[in-house]
A and B are shown apart, each in its own frame.
Chain A
């Protein structure tokens, strides 16, 4: 589910940058992967805490 959300975000940012005349640096794949890791880690930490 979070992968879908992340994919949607990357698509939105990249599309937005393209629409704005390509002057703005789009979200790179590396940055999107690291963002995905951050999302997953935050969700896992929260889940562990809520279960404890």
Chain B
């Protein structure tokens, strides 16, 4: 305001002086209020301790549910990828089993095993799920920056811990927990940096740290890095449009256009440099991605049924109703956040201003990640990238949907009866979220657990039947378990799952395999013409 007044002709400047002085005082007061609110730590330790305790209990439950003997395909794949980096002593080895989308998770995991002496499978199955509780810290910090409120930040983090897709993503042994840390920290630094625009040194430090976090995200998983760049570009386009839109948002839109312009350009450069010059193994994924538009076009032109990404709801759970009940938090979060997003848009269209720049940025990021969710629905029809992009996109989307709902929820002060009922409902929602995330076998037909007897049988086959292809069950459960515990990639590729081929060499049978075959409707291959080669009391191998 003072800068503007100084540029006016002397007479005009003098007559406007009382007005500019009052405006200047007002902006200073607002600045002081917001800074004081963000700096205040009243109630913070209690909030954070509670959330950390809850996240730790969630991680410990995940480990205890199957006594640490759990695996799923990506977790097994990442365990193998860590071993490949360790064996080759290269971050990007040209070897079977290399992880094609980045090296960050393998590098961090190897560093931890080197410092602590932990075995890779112990780190993956027992330590990581519990340590993931720390994710609460960057989440809460980001949410406080976005909402400008500690209470809303606590609500948002609590809501996030109730989302089963988020829990599955960060509890399983994959790169996604690191992706979230880097994503949240990059966003927090980016938004926090806005407060230091008049301070070149602090602003420069924030810029460097933002770029460092983006590089870490890209190096851990290029696909998530690309998703982040796409979200930044979408937010930039929306900001640019909003500059010409309603009066109430124009000033903030100018600010965010400038912010997203430089950060999206820098992030895009990092992705291009990483893909083209730094990490050659990504070529395989890139070729798959290039095929998606062509496949989609072919589907639209031919009108074929394509891949059905929703088929697992029928086969993967004891009933669609069980699936719906367990995913109820996803639905509640999706619907309420969408309503709030629409409500804010209407309010701003009528001339209101966003309460803070954080809320405006949150609205933009929500729009960007929601758009990616919509795009993933189309992508999954092609079956590319395992046909589960929607699930992965939703887990990321939840990180921006939760604070949007929290902003409204933090203003709600119900009567005692309603307060108790809501608290109880939230407590019980964690049961549903954990049952869904850990694929509770009473409800799910695809399982995370396995038995040591199954691994023991495969170790025997590894030595005694090295040339045989072995059918190990109606889904990838045992393949993932072997990859997690043993992890020789050349052997894993001889393990067959799903519908058995007619000419399969050998068949592994256990009570678990038989039960799961019944559940999934994929019968065990006929054993009449095969000989029993191995029996450890629980598991048999026929050939």
Give residues in A with beta carbon < 8 Å to B.
1-2, 5-6, 9, 12-13, 16-17, 20-21, 23-25, 27-28, 30-31, 34-35, 37-52
With A23-B511, A27-B65 known as contacts, the answer to whether A52 contacts B57 (CB < 8 A) is: no
**Interface residue from B50, B410, B420, B429 paired with A41 (Cβ < 8 Å):** B50
Partner of B434, one of A2, A35, A40, A49: A35
Q: Which residues of A contact B423 (CB under 8 A)?
A: 43-44, 46-47, 50
Cα distance A43–B419 in the bound complex, in angstroms = 10
Q: Is the CB of A42 within 8 A of B66?
A: no
List A contacts of B410 (CB < 8 A). Answer: 49
For the A-B complex with A37-B57, A47-B419 known, give 14 more contacts whose Cβ atoms are closer than 8 Å.
A13-B442, A16-B442, A31-B61, A34-B64, A40-B427, A41-B53, A42-B162, A44-B423, A45-B51, A45-B54, A46-B427, A47-B420, A49-B158, A50-B412
Q: Which residues of A contact B511 (CB under 8 A)?
A: 21, 23
Residue of A nearest to B150 (CB): A52
Q: Does B284 contact A (CB under 8 A)?
A: no
A31 to B422 alpha-carbon distance, docked (Å): 24
Contact of B57 among A23, A38, A46 (CB under 8 A): A38
By a CB distance below 8 angstroms, the chain A residues around B486 are none
Is B67's CB within 8 Å of the partner chain A? yes
A-B contact pairs, 12 of them (CB 8 A): A2-B424, A2-B427, A16-B442, A24-B442, A24-B512, A25-B66, A31-B64, A34-B57, A38-B54, A43-B424, A46-B158, A46-B426
| Contact call A21/B54, Cβ cutoff below 8 A | no
With both chains docked as a complex, state the minimum distance between the C-beta of B428 and any C-beta of chain A, in angstroms.
Answer: 6
Task: Give the residues in chain B near A28, CB-CB below 8 Å.
Answer: 64-65, 67
Residues of B within 8 A of A43 (CB): 423-424, 426-427
Interface of B is mostly: helix
Q: Quick check: B158 and A45 within 8 Å, CB to CB? A: yes
Closest B-chain residue to A6, C-beta based?
Answer: B431
Q: Which 10 A-B pairs have the closest CB atoms?
A: A43-B427, A16-B442, A38-B57, A47-B423, A31-B64, A23-B511, A46-B426, A41-B54, A39-B427, A46-B423
| Docked CA distance A5–B24 (Å) | 57
Give the docked Cα–Cα distance between A23 and B453 (Å). 12
Contact residues of B with A, CB < 8 Å? Answer: 43, 46-47, 50-51, 53-54, 57-58, 60-61, 64-67, 151, 154-155, 158, 161-162, 410, 412-414, 419-420, 422-424, 426-431, 434, 440-442, 447, 449, 511-512, 514-515
- Give every chain A residue within 8 A of B512 (Cβ-Cβ): 23-24
CA gap between A34 and B209 in the complex, in Å? 37
- Tell me the interface secondary structure of chain A in the complex: helix
CA distance A50 to B427 in the complex (A): 14
Minimum CB distance partner of B441 in chain A:
A24
Residue of B nearest to A15 (CB): B442
Q: Indicate if the CB atoms of B428 and A2 lie closer than 8 Å.
A: yes
A3 vs B50: C-alpha distance when bound (angstroms): 19
- Please give me the residue from chain A that is nearest to B152 by CB atom: A49
With beta carbons under 8 angstroms apart, the residue of B46, B412, B442 that contacts A12 is B442
> Is A21 a contact partner of B154 (Cβ separation < 8 A)?
no
Which residue of A1, A42, A50 is within 8 Å of B419 (Cβ)? A50
Q: Is the CB of A44 within 8 A of B50?
A: yes
Q: How long is the Cα–Cα vector from A14 to B151 in the complex, in angstroms? A: 38
Residue of B151, B428, B442 contacting most chain A CB atoms (<10 Å) = B442
A41 touches B57 (CB 8 A): yes
| Nearest Cβ on chain B to A7's Cβ, whole angstroms | 12
B413 — which chain A residues lie within 8 A by C-beta?
50
How many angstroms from the CA of A37 to the CA of B64 in the assembled complex? Answer: 13
Selected contact of B431 from candidates A9, A17, A44, CB within 8 Å: A9
Give bound CA distance, A5 to B421, whole Å: 13
Q: Chain B CB within 10 Å — which of A2, A25, A28, A51 has the most?
A: A25
- Asked whether B429 lies within 8 Å of A42 as measured between CB atoms, the reply is yes
With A35-B434, A41-B54: A24-B419 Cβ-Cβ less than 8 Å = no
Complex-state Cα separation, A6 to B161, whole angstroms: 18
Q: Given the known inter-chain contacts A45-B154, A47-B423, A49-B154, please indicate yes or no for A21 contacting B515, CB distance below 8 A.
A: yes
